[in-house]
Chains A and B, each alone.
Chain A
Amino acid sequence: MAAPTIFRTCPTTGLKVDLAAQSLIKANIVAAVIFLALGGLFGLSVALTRWPDVHLLPLDWFYLALTAHGLDVLLCWIIFFEVAVLYFASAILLNCRLAAPRIAWAAFALMVGGAVLTNITVLQGESSVMFTSYVPMKAAPNFYLGLILFAVGALIACGNFFGTLVVAKDERTYEGSVPLVTFGAITAAIIAVFTLASGAVILIPTWLWSIGYISNIDPLMYKLIWWAMGHSSQQINVAVHVSLWYAVAAILLGAKPLSEKASRLAFFLYILFLQLASAHHLLVDPGISSEWKIFNTSYAMYLAVLGSMIHALTVPGTIEAAQRKRGFNKGMFEWLRKAPWGNPAFSGTFLSLVMFGFLGGISGVVMGTEQINLIMHNTLYVPGHFHATVVAGTTLTFMAVSYLLIPLVLQREVMFPRMAKYQTYVFAIGVSGISLFMMGAGTLGIPRRVWDVTMSDAIFPFQFPPAAFLMLTLNGIFAIMAAVGGVMYVVNVVASTFWGKKTADAPKAQKASPPLAAPVRVAVGTYGSAETLYIPGTIVLVGIFFVSFVLYYYVNWKYLAEVWPLR
């Protein structure tokens, strides 16, 4: 028999909190933050090496640091945090016990073990193969084994999430449909299962190949399947951080979705189409037809992009509707001016929303256009783009949400609130600089993953234009700023989690009333759940976004039209 589940009642929301789920959320967040600190340090050292006048790391350390950077932040930080979000969106939001806490701890142990194993292997120096580890370049067997263990752990965590949904349904801990945020988390978990399965399909044979049991792994097949994991895992992030945008708006402002139907449709489009797109990485590779590339890279006619564009209206729209309901009705933008900009959870979320859309989203669609990819593939434009999606989008959102999870779930006060207030801005400015200047250097042809772009050791060095070096210098400066923001975050989270003042506990004898506002039956026929759909400010913002998108898209077609004809 399993131990009986112990709940506490949250004083703020009235939700029942399963203490086992709470401990697991805490453990996963702590692990995530440790890997963020480690990976961030590697990232800073990479950026400082790219800064031509500093050129920090020696040759072998640069490639080692670059491999470890991708591993620790893209994989470990993000997925540990996502597991915490999955437990939060299931057990906590559904007022339910976690399905199998012991198995969840086993999953956590597997993930930690795998992450540590791969990290040690990378640090031993024989596995500087980059995060993508393209064959036939071979890493030590434990590099792949660690990744496999980590993926198995993450898969078990997803299983626990689904199990908790079943338990919640079975024990009727909620009425009607799951909340939108949980729906988004389900989207993420479904994509995660596809992603992790793809990872198993390619990493297990590659591990066997590294030991010597398999003689050959086809490099093209490897890339195709590896990116079914690599790209899809970024789609998990998108689904999770968009869910969290809705969650923050709801927790801070009481925001209600403009329309449950439109927002859920957008998530549903992710489930159906988002995990295509491994073609993004194969657009200039041989042996694949243009028909497949076009269909796959566009997520079947941009239907997943459609999902994101729906969120681009509905997320700021819910915020505007909630703010107008609170009385900020003057003019077009009073709702935005008088938003809680001093609250890091809000500022981080809104900055993330803007930067993800304008920098990450637009550049991603442009770069993922079959022909335009010719002038961007493997240049620094690529990391410029994905730092806008994964760092400005996912990481900044996770940081923002941490400032809510620490008091609400971990029951600690944020130890340095003033530092938290500025942290999101410092980090956001740093990251936008990193993204913009890497993209800029990329359009000037600077390759990614190169230790020395002056190529001083080469027999036939190519001289890049001075503007490119200026961009790399600026990239280094903004990387320092982002690192400062990162340190401010890590210090605050670790200090608050372990030594923060405990928040007052709830009166123990609260009756298990329905959480928050109990669902009320409303006549069908009203538009969605927001009280107003008067959102002129959001319409203007979305209009600016759309015009920027269209212009930038066609400007790049023009650049493409100027290069040498190819057929």
Chain B
Amino acid sequence: MAITSPANRLWWKEPIHRIELTWIIIAFLWGLVMFFTMVYWHAVGDQNLANTTFKTTPQAYTAKTDAMVQQYKVREEFGIPVVRPPPGSDVYLLARIWMWWPILELEKGQSYRMHLSSVDYQHGFSLQPVNINIQVHPGYEHVFTMTPTSSGQFGIICNEFCGVGHHTMASRMYVVDRN
């Protein structure tokens, strides 16, 4: 029994039955399939988060974001600037308690180099209803390329707990069709 010492002292010399062995082999192969599916997706899939990251500071990141806002601001909504950077450019999104800054307006089908960082706590970038979720760390500037493939108004909410105002930390992203 499982609660007594093995009846056969030389249990490690017992052969493993065909049924068990077959299952072990199937499970092992399935593990390999799952492992190489991840690798394969890096080669052919479109959804692979880049790991390009720079160390930064709240001051440096705020300065970069400010510069972009100055250059590409098109309007304001509730006091938050809306920026429309050109396709292919560097786009900065700054997380802080309890807002995303600024609001982005992007073109459908164009690629942008997104930069994400926080100036205080950890935050969670959650783009809805697309459902892309990325962790945002203070001190780290995460850079990846994103290509919106649907247009409309999207929500960006925070999905990492960041204090009592966490549930109010929501913003928008606009994706417009090319005119």
Rounded to whole angstroms, the CA-CA distance of A516 and B6 in the bound complex is: 12
Interface size band for A: 35 or more
CB-based contact A250/B2 at 8 Å: yes
B1-51 contacts to A (CB < 8 Å): 1-17, 19-20, 23-24, 26-28, 30-32, 34-35, 37-39, 41-42, 45-51
CB contact between A566 and one of B46, B121, B164 (< 8 Å): that residue: B46
Contact of B65 with A by CB under 8 A: no
B88-99 vs A, CB cutoff 8 Å, 1 = contact: the mask equals: 000000000000
CB contact between A529 and one of B6, B120, B124 (< 8 Å): that residue: B6
Contact of A3 with B by CB under 8 A: no
Contact of A336 with B by CB under 8 A: no
Whole-angstrom distance between the Cβ of A542 and the nearest chain B Cβ: 7
A427-470 contacts to B (CB < 8 Å): 443-445, 447-453, 455, 457-465
A220 contact set on B, CB distance < 8 A: 137, 139-140
Contact of A256 with B by CB under 8 A: yes
Dominant SS among interface residues on chain B? mixed
With CB as the reference atom, state the residue of chain A lying closest to B166: A450
CB-based contact B27/A309 at 8 Å: yes
CB-based contact B2/A374 at 8 Å: no
> 6 tightest A-B contacts by CB?
A462-B155, A302-B31, A286-B142, A447-B159, A246-B2, A309-B27
A366-391 vs B, CB cutoff 8 Å, 1 = contact: the mask equals: 00011101111111000000000000
CB-based contact A259/B3 at 8 Å: no
Dominant SS among interface residues on chain A? loop
CB-based contact A565/B26 at 8 Å: no
CB-based contact B148/A310 at 8 Å: no
CB-based contact A458/B116 at 8 Å: no
Which residues of chain A have a CB within 8 Å of any CB of chain B?
Answer: 59-60, 63, 93, 129-130, 134, 136-137, 174-181, 218-220, 246-247, 249-251, 254-264, 282, 284-290, 294, 298, 301-303, 305-306, 309-310, 313-314, 317-318, 365, 369-371, 373-379, 443-445, 447-453, 455, 457-465, 515-517, 519-522, 524-529, 533, 535, 539, 542, 546, 549-550, 553, 557, 560-561, 563-567
Q: List 5 A-B contacts (CB under 8 A).
A: A134-B122, A219-B137, A445-B128, A451-B167, A462-B170
CB-based contact B16/A566 at 8 Å: no
CB-based contact A529/B8 at 8 Å: yes
B121 contact set on A, CB distance < 8 A: 134, 136-137
A301 contact set on B, CB distance < 8 A: 31-32, 35
10 further A-B contacts with Cβ under 8 Å, apart from A378-B159, A459-B78, A565-B146, are A129-B161, A255-B2, A287-B142, A306-B24, A374-B47, A375-B132, A449-B160, A516-B3, A519-B9, A564-B147
CB-based contact B132/A564 at 8 Å: yes
CB-based contact B128/A286 at 8 Å: no
CB-based contact B133/A284 at 8 Å: yes
CB-based contact A310/B6 at 8 Å: no
